Amino acid sequence: MTTPTPHTLAGETLLLLPEGAIVHPASKTLIVADLHLEKSSSRRDAGLLLPPYDTGITLDRLTALATSWRPERIIALGDSFHDNTASERLSPADRARLTLLGQHAALLWLTGNHDPIPPADLPGIWKAEHQEGTLLFRHIPTNTIPPGTAELAGHLHPKARITLRGHTLTRPCFVMDETRVLLPAFGTYTGGLDVQNPAISQLFTGPMQLCLLGKNRLSRISLPARVA
């Protein structure tokens, strides 16, 4: 059993999960980012052979979280599909699993830069972004967060490098402060961008709080404010 890490954002309690997702208990919502379904098949079409298991593994993990937490809604923060034709390449089994997820929880998909055109044949609704109370759900984080709100976003696939007992580890992570949380990529073949990269660090004017993904729990550390 994994141990979630509570985090308060804009007055709302979030549970950050070691699996790389977030639960918002008040609305019974499970939040994930950057599934990149069918990335392997997109590479195959380009002549690069990757093991064709990424979609199945990602949906295994998503289904396991849905089974454990029983959310009434699942929000996917964009780049759920690796390209605009990815849904056409889904296997019948994977398509059936997405349909089953949609029967047990309302699915809200945000469009991303990889999937700006919503598939027409899958359950759920699609939006460019979504605001609910003080929480603003986006794919790409921005510097325009309205006063009194906070942002949950994906897109950047954050990861961090730490040294423990002489060994250097690189792990996907959540990155947060008082106004936003960046989620790690949930997909199987997704890679990551170091949190020290300006694309991430320039979003945070103060110290960054990191929660690095582990097998059963998150490891929380703080990075000092970026030097201009």
> What are 106-125's pLDDT values in tens digits?
999 999 999 999 988 899 99
DSSP 14-65: EEE-TTS-EEEGGGTEEEE----BTHHHHHHHTT----TTHHHHHHHHHHHH
- Give pLDDT, residue 205: 87
pTM of this structure: 0.93
State residue 92 phi and psi, 5-degree precision: -55, -35
Helix (H, G, I), strand (E, B) or coil at 91: coil
* Tens digit of each residue's pLDDT (9 = 90 or more) over 11-58: 999 999 999 999 999 999 999 999 999 988 776 666 665 666 799 999
The percent of residues in the chain predicted with pLDDT above 90, rounded, is: 75
Going from the N-terminus, what domains does the chain have, and what CATH number goes with each? 5-223 (3.60.21)
At 198-221, the pLDDT tens digits run 999 999 988 999 999 998 999 999
Angle, in degrees to the nearest 10, between helices 54-69 and 92-104: 20
